[in-house]
Structure 1
Amino acid sequence: MVGSGGMGPGGLRPSAISALPVQAVGAEHTGKGCAALVHAFDWSGTSLGPMIGWDPAVRAAVELMLASPVPMMLTCGDDFVVLYNDAYAEVLHALHPTALGRPAAEAFGAAWRQPGMGDAIAEVYRTGRAVLEPESEVPVTPGGTEPAFYTQGYSAVRDSRGEITGVLTVAAETTQVIHRLHSLGELTARLAGALTIDDVTRVVLAYAMASFDLDHCVLAVDDGLAYRYVRRIRGEMLDEADERLPPVWRRIGADPAAPLVVAAESGRASFVADGEPLREVATDRHERRIRALAVLPLRTPSLRGALTMGFRHAHAWLPAERALLKAAAELVAQAAERARRFEAQHGTAQLLQRSMLPEHLPELDTFRIAARYDVGVDGNAAGGDFYDAFHLLDGRLAMVLGDVAGHDVRAAAVMGQVRAALRALALTDPAPPSVLAGLDRLVGSLGAESRNEEIFVTVVYGVLDPTDGSITLASAGHPPPVLRRAGQGGEGATAELVKVPPGAPLGLGGRWQTGSLVLEPGDTILMFSDGVVERRGRPLNDGMDALVAAAAASPSGDPRNMCALATAAVPGTTDDDVAVLVVEHALAMSRSATMQVAAEPTGPSRVRQWMTTRLREWSVPEPVIGAAILCTSELTTNALLHAGTPAQVHIDLNAERLLVSVADTGTRGSVIRAQTDTLASRGRGLGLIEELSDSWGTDPTVRGSTVWFEMLLAGNARA
């Protein structure tokens, strides 16, 4: 949120909003105040266009400026069209009102070209960096008279997309107001990057508490016939890790006694300067102690909600402050509506994407399999990467990873057809050349049918014989897999790219040859899409080398660990989808157990008891048991609290490591690839997992997500 925080060594620091005297100047020049002049002005002849079409963020900035008692001028667009308030009209003197609505170069003439005016505004417009110039000379007084001196503050004004659309000039010794407006600009920029309702909530609550030095803040949005809300109170111990995590939502019915419900339903703001505004709906002592409360509606065509801000002491909500809060609330409402649309579209795209991927991978006695899929771009579109692993009729295992070019529903549809056809072909004749030849005919037919010759599909396909670990592979234009060889006799692990004869992508009528290898006990093979290794502006070989080096350096060949390692092996971000399929030949059969946990308060304690008994039966060292139970308890609590669905706890033990996973069937989760490894528990749980485990990660699934961690046993633990 926005407010009057001072700037200290750590950036924005909280400070109370000061009471500023209301000024009324400028009307003497025209008989009308600037607010009336601005609303009556014909803007259609300017670069801004008619006022009705202005961006909501621009309108909010204009209304905030007009309501302020401090001299302010707003210059908008590339030609810097001039708007200002009554206090700034007094600064302009005889240039008012002719300067209103004109490009700054015309309105101010030679004064615009003087140092400290046009150049300073143009610099802020170009860079977006706020500037405070104490005692800067502003020669706007006409007639060659002595220029005036002002403390000038310049800050960028951004539209709803976060793009700079103008520059706000504050011409007074008003440091608090400058910070307040700068915070509004920061709020707008941060909201522009908020994709989900959770993101919007984090941004708004953090700004509200820091900028206004509040005792209490709530953001609520409609949830069917009721509302869900997130509360922040003074004194909460939140660290950087907490701020990255999904907020904890609570539900409230449409209680007519609740101020936030009244505001959300009516669309009217309310301000209580001193009283007991939450007495009838208070749930704890924090709410009963609130004396001053501002309640701002968040209303759009598809969203109802409210934002409340409270103090434990009396607080006079002055007109300028009310205008600021209403402007900020409008920005928050627009951001929340965009986030709700994004979540709906993202959910549809994710469901389409994951419904075309296998929900469960095969289970073999001495071979372990894991896969991972991360959506590229902004997470709001289906993609064409896919993986699959399935049993053949003769007991062998087919494994495939492919890539259909594109990031849209069409690419996902082609991917689904290719994957389904591959299964049918492999179950008839699993030989890699035969399967790829059949897929080649399919892709060629699809291209001819759609009259589109640009369907581009690559595939690497292999057949594993579990009896001896032999694998036969063929590639249709796809990057070769990585083979990690376990070290023998105390030697370290090694990794290399598998030598697979290159073949043409599908649809070009090529011929494919096979390569072969033997997966010895302890070895791991990793198939991947090009999104794992490709980075803009960097050679592809750099990414391949980084992936091979990361595989060799991994302390374990466990498939889940290798999936997480592969997605983070190459520095930088990618716009492409990322798919990984990993198969490990285990040194020995592992022991495993699974427990279903109901979504009830006793769930975590029952998991602790069950897991303690089972791990002691398996003779796991006590230090490992204690750490594993602590981490599992946190993960289970996280799943039950945030997903709100039953959870499944799975433990898998072999001679090298203990692997624990907790799966839920919730639908909420991170959608930005950079955040997919963030736990949705409190900061304590995140720190525990990072500190106590040797590796951990999150795997999105068709219905929910799985969080896992791995602990190496004595003799294999990390140094």
Structure 2
Amino acid sequence: MVGMGSSLAMTTLPDQTGVPPERALDCAELVRRHPWAATSLGPAEAWDPVVRATVDMLLASPVPMVLAYGDDHVMIYNDAYAEVLGARHPAALGRPAAEVFGELWHTPGVGGVIADVYRTGQPFLEAETQVAVARGAAGHVEQASFTRGHSVIRDLHGGIVGVLTVAAETTQVTRRLQSLGDLTARLASALTIDDVARVVLAYGMTSFDVDHCVFAVDDGTEFRYVRRIRGEMMDEADERLPPLWKRFAPDPDSPMVTAAQTGRPTFQADGSPLAKIASDRHERRIRALAAMPLRTPLLRGALTMGYRTAHTWLPAERALLYAAAELVAQAAERARRFEAQHGTAQLLQRSMLPEHLPELDRFRIAARYDVGVDGNAAGGDFYDAFELSDGRLAMVLGDVAGHDVRAAAVMGQVRAALRALALTDPAPGTVLAGLDRLVGSLGAESRNEEIFVTVVYGVLDPTDGTITLASAGHPPPVLRRADPEGGPASAELVLVPPGAPLGLGGRWRTTVLQLEPGDSILMFSDGVVERRDRPLSAGLADLVAAAAGATSGDPRNLCSLATAAVSGSTDDDVAVLAVERAVALSRSATMLVPAEPTGPSRVRQWMSTRLREWSVPEPVIGAAILCTSELTTNALLHAGTPAQVHIDLSAERLLVSVADTGTRGSVTRARTDALSSRGRGLGLIEELSDTWGTDPTVRGSTVWFEMLIPPR
């Protein structure tokens, strides 16, 4: 480290002879044994008293120190500096620095610093520099930060005989400042209180290496908190799961409550700060605790960090905690605002969509709606499917331009009017003509001619599978044809006669197609296929290819594939509706699982009985029960509500879905990447099923998987 710059950390010196036998000796012993007579220092017994005192001082110091002696800068250093040298030690001891560092010694900022101090006698303080340091018995190399001071050593006669370098390691301070920057970046992308909690707990445990970290926010008259303790096993899947919050009353003996209510931080260096409120042995073992308030106009909370040993909270550390708490408080308030706005938009959006789709003997129906933009605004996409008085099925998918409450309101009016019109006269031409008049009237009332609504509407006759379709400016559906001989399926866009969007006084023509057993039809909004950097035709081609390559024509599977068929992100909402004509009648059963520890075992027993009654092959039964148990456990633990398990068996596949009705107050989101309390559920579903996915519903979410039945 004598005058070295950051570039020296990347340099590897040649192997030095004699290193292994001497590595076990400390520097004091190596200095005693070294043949100094062969160096510019001369025999040790003849050293100048000042030089000897300097060497004795640096050998006894725990701080990295090195003496560069004489015109050739012979190096004498201590054990702390030896760790910095790494593989260069012990061969560097007693050698000129230029030989130790080679060509780097002559580069700017390295040897020149020592030479200038030695020549001028003026001390010099170097700014922080990164150096590679070997840590621990295993010699693990890591980057450390040091600030170095160089000063001259004079002999008894006042002559300059060397330069003493003292290195102060600032690695911990530097890393904490860097981690504060990382905290800022991560909090900027945290949308919900759950997200903020995950970021804060990870920050406290890694940056401050604490034994106990708690994040708490007010929840009405009470508080709720989530904590992390040292030794907790948390894998990547666990980190993505919703944190398990606990509620507690405002106990005046709680440092966390005191900080949240008064807005004043508290620091205890040693004692039993949690003794009066400890709920388990982990809290009783805490001796040092910092409690930082989190206060904004909309939020009261606290962040606490504790150690199991005494800990002095130094001013620099307190300042860092103040800054972190301010960042966390602001992020928590933003998250609370987002959740409130998001919840309102989601409730408005999903209240206008059907909660349940019709169940027909030989036709399966599924739909999916994904919010676009940032998920914080209602949109105008909608779908619907309902039975008519004569037994036929009306199905529709539409899009009202816009991403605001007004677009959602128009969507709700259009959907309600369509139902009323279809129940009176379901003919596509008649329904679209009535909707056209409605949209034109709405535009006139608002004095806004820019209400843009597109719709594709069809009527399915279950007796023969015919569908009569008409489109008002909407993308055509995709028709997936199954091969009766068991070969690959095919897919194509339905040639629906083009028609003007609603509100323009157009005329609409219809087309008729027929679904054969195994065929499916997929309606979709333009958010599925439109991308800013690609032509619409490319998106349509990708969607058709995805439908043709689907493992089955199951509507749930098609909806899941459709939302991911076109690469790239979209800012638009996405709505899809799929209908399949089954090859044969399917058998189904449903079980409501209470939120109890025995729930998963009851599901396993129920499924085993049903599937064996239906003569499902044993390998499929075992895999299906294992996957269902994982999904049920996830729903019960992390949604906190009863779960509904539905199984549907057809000749070619077994479909299992697990639905929950709650999200512990957080934003309703698909949990495709957060299955199982220990993170193994996702791998199981991917490994054992043929396809799987998640569907957000009006109240909660549904995770499902499909397993193909091998031919007998």
Map residues 492-511 of structure 1 onto 2, 5 A cutoff: 492-511=488-507
Q: Hey, what's the Cα distance between the residues in 2 that align with 1:534 and 1:696?
A: 24
The alignment status of 1:241 with 2:217, answered yes or no, reads no
Q: Which of 337, 340, 360 is residue 341 of structure 1 equivalent to?
A: 337
Q: Which moved further from structure 2: 230-239 or 477-486? A: 230-239
TM-score, normalisation: structure 1: 0.75
Structure 1 residue identity aligned to 2:320 = L
CA radius of gyration, larger in = 2
2:614 is the alignment partner of 1:618: yes
Q: Does the 8 Å contact 1:215/1:310 carry over to 2?
A: yes
Q: Which moved more, 1:334-343 or 1:536-545?
A: 536-545
Q: CA–CA distance in 2 between the matches of 1:706 and 1:241?
A: 19
2:127 to 144, 148, 151: 151
Q: Aligned residue for 1:515?
A: 511
Deviation sequence 1:294-348 (CA, Å, 0-9, x none): 2111111221211111222222110110111011011101111110111011111
**Gaps in structure 2 of 5+ consecutive residues:** 1-8, 10-108, 114-121, 131-145, 149-167
Q: Which amino acid aligns with 1:677?
A: T
State the match for 2:214 in structure 1: 218
Aligned partner of 1:551 in structure 2 is 547
Separation (CA, whole Å) in 2 of partners of 1:336 and 1:204: 10
For the pair 1:485 / 2:461, whether they are aligned, the reply is no
Q: What is the alpha-carbon distance in structure 1 between the residues aligned to residue 543 and residue 256 of structure 2?
A: 52
- The verdict on how the C-alpha distance between 1:563 and 1:358 changes in structure 2, with shifts beyond 3 A counting, is same
Q: Check the 8 A contact 1:666/1:704 in 2, yes or no.
A: yes
The answer to whether 1:292 aligns with 2:288 is yes
Kindly indicate whether the alpha-carbon contact (under 8 Å) linking 1:615 and 1:625 is maintained by their aligned counterparts in 2. Answer: yes
The 8 Å contact of residues 384 and 395 in structure 2, kept in 1 or not, is answered as: yes
Q: Match of 1:184, as an amino acid?
A: L
Give, in whole Å, the separation in 2 of the partners of 1:389 and 1:135. Answer: 80
Which residue number in structure 2 is paired with residue 203 of structure 1?
Answer: 199
**1:235 Cα deviation from its structure 2 partner:** 2.5
Number of residue pairs matched by the alignment: 562
Amino acid at match of 2:127: T
Please give the alpha-carbon distance, in whole angstroms, between the structure 1 residues aligned to 2:112 and 2:301. 44
| Counterpart in the other structure of 1:143 | none
Supply the distance in 2 between the matched residues of 1:496 and 1:361 (Cα, whole angstroms): 25
Moved more, 322-331 or 592-601: 592-601
Question: Residues of 1 paired with 2:471 and 2:484: CA distance?
Answer: 30
The two structures, once aligned, show a CA RMSD in angstroms of: 2.5
Q: What corresponds to 2:672 in structure 1? A: 677
Indicate conservation of the 8 Å contact 1:402/1:458, yes or no.
yes
CA contact (8 A) 2:638 2:663 kept: no
2:68 is matched with: none
- Where 2:702 maps in the other structure, the secondary structure is strand
Counterpart of 2:65 in structure 1 is none
Matches of 1:356 and 1:228 in 2, distance apart?
A: 32
Match of 1:403 in 2: 399
Q: Secondary structure at the match of 2:316?
A: helix
Checking the alignment, whether the CA contact within 8 Å between 1:246 and 1:680 is kept in structure 2 is no
Q: Give the letter aligned to residue 498 of structure 1.
A: V
Alpha-carbon distance, 1:568 to partner: 1.0
From the superposition, tell whether residues 519 and 694 of structure 1 become closer, same or farther in structure 2 (CA, over 3 Å).
same
1:306 partner letter: A
Deviation at 1:134, TM superposition (A): 9.8
CA contact (8 A) 1:378 1:672 kept: no
Of the structure 1 ranges 342-351 and 177-186, higher mean CA displacement relative to structure 2 is found in 177-186
**What displacement does 1:461 show?**
0.5
Query: Relative to structure 1, is the Cα distance of residues 370 and 421 closer, same or farther in structure 2, using a 3 angstrom cutoff?
Result: same
Q: Percent identity?
A: 80
Q: For 1:679, give the aligned amino acid.
A: A
Aligned to 1:700: 696
The equivalent of 1:167 in structure 2 is none
Q: Deviations over 1:202-253 (max 9, x none)?
A: 1111222222222221111122222222121223222222222222222222
Label 1:624 to 1:473 Cα distance change in 2 as closer, same or farther (>3 A).
same
* CA distance in 1 between partners of 2:590 and 2:404 (Å): 37
Shift of 1:283: 2.9
- Counterpart of 2:182 in structure 1 is 186
Measure, in 1, the Cα distance between the counterparts of 2:125 and 2:175.
21
Query: Tell me, what secondary structure is at the counterpart of 1:468?
Result: coil
Deviation for aligned residue 1:579: 0.3
1:426 to 410, 413, 422: 422
Q: CA shift at 1:404, angstroms?
A: 0.3
Alpha-carbon distance in 2 for matches of 1:653, 1:373: 25
**Aligned equivalent of 1:416:** 412
Q: What letter is aligned with 1:500?
A: V
Q: Which residue of 2 aligns with 1:573?
A: 569
Q: Please give the secondary structure, in 2, of the residue aligned with 1:151.
A: coil
Flag the 1:633–1:529 CA change in 2: closer, same or farther, 3 A.
same
Counterpart position of 2:453? 457
**2:396, 2:458 within 8 Å by CA — same for their partners in 1?**
yes
> 1:329, 1:189 → 2: CA distance?
15
1:533-612 alignment, distance < 5 Å? 533-612=529-608
The whole-number CA distance in structure 2 between the counterparts of 1:153 and 1:302 is 43
In the alignment, what sits opposite 1:82?
A: none
Aligned match of 2:367: 371
1:402-439 C-alpha deviation (Å, 9 max, x unpaired):
00000000000000011011111111111111111111
Q: Helix, strand or coil: the match of 2:433?
A: helix
Q: Secondary structure at the match of 2:602?
A: helix
Deviation (angstroms), 1:264 = 1.8
Contact 2:519 2:580 in 1 (8 A): yes
Q: 2:110, 2:439 → 1: CA distance? A: 68
- Superposed displacement of residue 708, structure 1: 1.4
Structure 2 Cα separation of the partners of residues 669 and 221 of structure 1: 13
Give the superposition deviation at 1:676.
5.5
Gaps of 5+ in 1: 1-8, 10-132, 138-145, 155-169
Q: Secondary structure at the match of 1:473?
A: strand
Name which of 263, 266, 276 aligns with 2:262: 266
Which position in structure 2 is the counterpart of 1:99?
A: none
Which deviates the most, 602-611 or 480-489?
A: 602-611
Offset at residue 135 of structure 1 (A): 11
Distance (Å, rounded) in 1 between the aligned partners of 2:283 and 2:623: 38
> What amino acid does structure 2 have at the position aligned with 1:610?
W
CA distance in 2, matches of 1:607, 1:269: 49
Distance 1:532 1:322 in 2: 51
Find the counterpart in structure 1 of residue 655 from structure 2: 659
The equivalent of 2:223 in structure 1 is 227
Structure 1 397/692 Cα, relative in aligned 2: closer, same or farther at 3 Å? Answer: same
TM-score by length of 2: 0.75
Q: Distance in 2 between matches of 1:707 and 1:491?
A: 29
2:638 is matched with which residue? 642
Counterpart code for 1:363: E
Tell me the SS of whatever aligns to 2:495: coil
Distance 1:326 1:520, change over 3 A: same
**Contact 2:238/2:674, CA 8 A, preserved across alignment:** no
Alignment match of 1:710 (pick from 698, 706, 711): 706
| Corresponding residue for residue 439 of structure 2 | 443
Tell whether 2:465 aligns with 1:469: yes
Opposite residue 399 of structure 1, the aligned amino acid is M
Deviation for aligned residue 1:153: 8.2
